[in-house]
Amino acid sequence: MPKTPHPLTTTLSQAIGEFVRDGDSVALEGFTHLIPFAAGHEIIRQRKKNLTLVRMTPDLIYDQLIGAGCARKLIFSWGGNPGVGSLHRFRDAVENGWPGPLDIEEHSHAAMASAYTAGASGLPFAILRGYTGTDLPSYNQNIRFMQCPFTGERLAAVPAVRLDVAIIHAQKSDQRGNVLMWGIIGVQKEAALSARRVVVTVEEVVEDLGAAANASVLPFWTVDAVVKAPGGASPSYAMGYYDRDNAFYKRWDEISRTREGFLTWLEENVFLKDSAPQAASASLASAGKENP
């Protein structure tokens, strides 16, 4: 449903406070790129709870949200610290119920992408060729099988992702709230179109997006709030603005390995900081920015 046009003036604290509610289904999407860390930290600061977190390839920000006690369920496809190892807070929640029990619903990447697309299209479920040679359907009752009415082929079906809130990070927004992304897009657009409420953090707000005709743009009527948050995707990267902080991803393995180490990091780096994201430590590549 188109959103009511609104002025592009809100803070991260206000956006999360208004649009993310206890018990919501929430996706903070971004496939290695443009991951909305600043927004995730604000969810933690506001101590949102009982969230159903949804995401393809949940990594560090979901480890942090789970460890902070924000989540009751995770719907996902593969979870880990890319190139490093496990998500220790995620694993502790599943294996030991700390800081609280965590229900999990695991899918394949193809199924999650299809489920987002179905949700964005207003369909009740997604159909795909998949789950051959895997026992996931034995553990996930939301993976069903059906016969194609045209060919008789056996196909898998999964429920559409229909979110309460989608949160994404993008490079630019204009003054009206139209949002421009480029680089690896993942399922950000599908997540936004599948959600009742949409919050977007951006590197900068400009007068004119200067977008090409086939650029990936979310029009203002699909968005509820846009927040200017430079560095809001760090330690992931924002193409044209800053690089991925690979050193932090490696450090996270040690930081998160124990509950005490994680809680100390959380207090010092999330709770004791305000919601204005710090400028990314990586050098800005503003001189080389190129829009699609």
> Which class for 54: exposed (0-12), middle (13-18), buried (19 or more C-beta within 10 A)?
buried
What's the pLDDT at 4?
54
Rounded to the nearest integer, the mean pLDDT of the chain is 92
Distance, in Å, from the CA atom of 172 to the CA atom of 177, rounded to the nearest integer, reads: 9
Distance, in Å, from the CA atom of 189 to the CA atom of 120, rounded to the nearest integer, reads: 9
Name the nearest CA neighbour of 60 among 78, 81, 46, 76.
Answer: 81
In tens, the pLDDT along 192-202 reads 999 999 999 99
Distance, in Å, from the CA atom of 173 to the CA atom of 99, rounded to the nearest integer, reads: 37
Distance, in Å, from the CA atom of 166 to the CA atom of 224, rounded to the nearest integer, reads: 10
What tokens appear for 141 in the block?
Answer: 């009752």
How crowded is residue 1: how many other Cβ atoms within 10 Å of its Cβ? Answer: 6
In tens, the pLDDT along 72-126 reads 999 999 999 999 999 999 999 999 999 999 999 999 999 999 999 999 999 999 9
Name the nearest CA neighbour of 114 among 158, 62, 79.
Answer: 158
Distance, in Å, from the CA atom of 66 to the CA atom of 265, rounded to the nearest integer, reads: 14
Q: Report the pLDDT averaged over residues 17-31.
A: 98
Distance, in Å, from the CA atom of 75 to the CA atom of 135, rounded to the nearest integer, reads: 17
What tokens appear for 68 in the block?
Answer: 């902070």
In tens, the pLDDT along 43-81 reads 999 999 999 999 999 999 999 999 999 999 999 999 999
Q: In 36-187, where does DSSP find H-type helix? A: 37-45, 60-67, 88-96, 109-120, 136-139
What's the pLDDT at 278?
46
Strands, sheet with 154-159, edge to edge from the N-terminal-most edge strand: 125-128, 154-159, 144-147
What's the pLDDT at 172?
96
What's the pLDDT at 291?
41
What tokens appear for 174 in the block?
Answer: 């204009």
C-alpha dist (Å) from residue 190 to 216, 253, 267: 11, 31, 34
What three-state secondary structure class fits 94? helix
